Homo-oligomer: A and B are copies of this chain.
Amino acid sequence: MQKKENISMSVIRRLPRYHRFLSELEKNGVTRISSKELSEKMRLTASQIRQDFNCFGGFGQQGYGYNVPQLRVEIGKILGLQNNFKCVLIGAGNLGRAIMGHMPFEQLGFQLIGAFDNSPKVIGTVISGCKISDYQDIRKFYAENSPIMAILCVPREVVEKISDELYEIGIRSFWNFSHYDISLKHPDATVENVHMNDSMMTLCYRLCTLE
């Protein structure tokens, strides 16, 4: 299995979905699946799936189907899920605490090594084994632990200030839940945004077209 260079982001963005479907199949005891069956489950065309997989040298046993656990492992390797990239979470409000409590970090390529907030109400509390520390200590923590990614769950008003500070101390990757566009100011940062508002607006559009 070899990565081709310049694989488009739309192919990349389908990989987690393949991984998710394959994990689900594996959980249900399915060990082999044809590209036709997989395509029906995923609502893609079989040719689209073959084309996607060919970007990585292909995994297929044509006519015989894919080995589900093996394909899941291969896609996991391409995604780099074995990496355990060190990350910190900034902003332990409801959303931050939900993420700390429910995201299966280690299955997703990360390891949550710290969480930070400025509220005395949450500083010192522990969620899923991770202690929430005073945001004032972030610089010291970075120097000692070198996290490479920060999850930003802070209010919109402070996200610019906080992302600037984190960038300045050395963090270059962000998982961002606010609508502030970090890459405009820091074009070399790797930013993945979760735009919950966009998703809700899309649902609104779809409800309108039903009527």
* Interface of A toward B, CB cutoff 8 Å: 12-13, 15-17, 19-20, 24, 78-81, 83, 85, 93-95, 97-99, 101-105, 107-110, 148-149, 173, 175, 179, 190, 192, 194-208, 210
In the assembled complex, the Cα of A85 lies from the Cα of B179 at a distance in Å of 23
B94 touches A15 (CB 8 A): no
CB-CB nearest in chain B for A20? B179
A122: shortest Cβ distance to chain B, in Å?
12
* Bound Cα distance from A183 to B197, whole angstroms: 21
Q: Considering the chains assembled together, what is the distance between the CA atoms of A125 and B205 in angstroms?
A: 31
User: A197 near B20 (CB under 8 angstroms)?
Assistant: yes
Contacts of A85 on B, CB cut-off 8 Å?
A: 204, 207
Contact B190 A210 (CB under 8 A): yes
Query: In the complex, what distance in Å separates the CA atom of A13 from the CA atom of B206?
Result: 10
Given A12-B205, A85-B204, A109-B208; 8 other pairs, CB 8 A cutoff: A16-B197, A16-B198, A20-B198, A80-B208, A81-B204, A95-B98, A109-B205, A192-B203
Q: List 19 A-B contacts (CB under 8 A).
A: A12-B205, A16-B198, A16-B202, A17-B198, A85-B207, A94-B97, A94-B102, A95-B102, A99-B196, A108-B197, A108-B200, A108-B204, A109-B200, A109-B204, A109-B208, A173-B207, A192-B200, A192-B202, A194-B196
The minimal Cβ–Cβ distance linking A31 to chain B, given in whole angstroms, is: 20
Compute how far the CA of A93 lies from the CA of B149 in the bound complex, rounded to whole angstroms. 26
- Whether the pair B104, A19 counts as a contact (CB closer than 8 A) is no
Taking the closest CB of chain B, its distance from the CB of A114, in whole angstroms, is 17
B residues in contact with A101, CB < 8 Å: 94
Q: Which residue of B lies closest to A109 (CB)?
A: B204
The 5 closest A-B pairs by CB, nearest first: A109-B204, A80-B208, A94-B98, A95-B98, A16-B198
Q: Which of B24, B103, B208 contacts A197 (CB 8 A)?
A: B103
B205 touches A15 (CB 8 A): yes
| B residues less than 8 Å from A24 (CB atoms) | 179
